[in-house]
Amino acid sequence: MISSELNVSDGQPQVFIVGKAPNQRRIAFRRRAPVRSGSPSLIWLSGYRSDMDSTKATALDAEAERRGLGLLRFDYSGHGRSDGRLEEGTISRWLEETLALMQAESEGPQILVGSSMGGYLALLAARALNEAGERERVKALVLIAPAVDFTEALVWAKAPEEAKRAIMEQGVWRRPSPYSSESDCFTRDLIEDGRKHLLLGGMIRTGARTAVLQGMRDEDVPFSHALALMQRLGGDPATLTLVRDGDHRLSRPQDLELMFAALERLM
């Protein structure tokens, strides 16, 4: 795993190499150093098919600059500026990239801020570090419409039978996306690999305080899913904020203020 810099002076992201051939991939990332050494820093984890330059990610960067906080944000393989194909993506690959970037490009306690699939990966990363005896690396989590177990609970369980046949027999199911002109892509590898990382079947122990923000008009991750998650966060302090008119993105100015307020409480 090698970190290298790509012309940062003109705003280009840096690159971090994860894995070994033939599964090596170049992960694009941006890092803001904290003003005060030792203060908590933030790590942004994007959703499925989103990237580190999204509305929430850039708003968080501006807030980090205002507060003098460090911030690490990156694109998973197959997303944004990173290489790879979306069809090759799995929860295992994206979790490996998350942990690798976190270990190599951040120091001290971190607050993980994850949106949708990024909230799921934040929980998986925090649990992995807690189990590895590195509980102090995660100070807290802010989870925005967390799509926990999304491959199973939100994709496979809700897919029509013809979609399931396409996944199992052809290896992929594509469906129109409400957020992009490109179709969403769900592969057999993504679904089967996701079953290795299911969280909602038992208690989730991260060792970190958690704040969940959830829109009640979210058509991708219903707020009942957030309620189910809260029941599994045993032993760790957790709060849930329901936004009555909030959708899945929670990217309006008033939604961003809720994200900043959650950070303030957890600092």
Determine the residue type at 56: K
Q: Active site includes 245?
A: no
| pLDDT score of 7 | 30
Q: Active site includes 225?
A: no
Q: Are 50 and 34 in contact (CB under 8 A)?
A: no
| pLDDT score of 6 | 35
Catalytic residue among 54, 116, 149, 197: 116
Q: Active site includes 106?
A: no
Asked whether residue 156 is domain-assigned, the answer is no
Span 106-125, average pLDDT: 97
Number of domains into which the chain is organized: 1
Q: Are 125 and 40 in contact (CB under 8 A)?
A: no
Task: Print burial letters for 162-171: b (CB count within 10 Å at least 16), e (below 16).
Answer: ebeebbeeee
Reported pTM: 0.94
CATH of the domain at 63: 3.40.50.1820
Asked whether residue 139 is domain-assigned, the answer is yes
Burial class (CB in 10 A: 0-12, 13-18, 19+), 14: middle
| pLDDT score of 21 | 87
pLDDT band at 3 (very low <50, low <70, confident <90, very high): very low
Asked whether residue 129 is domain-assigned, the answer is yes
pLDDT band at 182 (very low <50, low <70, confident <90, very high): confident
Asked whether residue 132 is domain-assigned, the answer is yes
Catalytic residue among 61, 75, 218, 255: 218
Nearest to residue 114, comparing CAs of 132, 93, 90, 138? 138
End-to-end CA distance of the chain: 31
**Cβ atoms within 10 Å, residue 8:** 11
pLDDT band at 9 (very low <50, low <70, confident <90, very high): very low
| pLDDT score of 98 | 99
Q: Long-range contacts made by residues 126-135, C-beta under 8 angstroms, separation at least 24?
A: 126/206, 126/207, 126/208, 127/199, 127/204, 127/205, 127/206, 128/95, 128/99, 129/99, 130/205, 130/206, 130/207, 130/208, 135/207, 135/208
Asked whether residue 61 is domain-assigned, the answer is yes
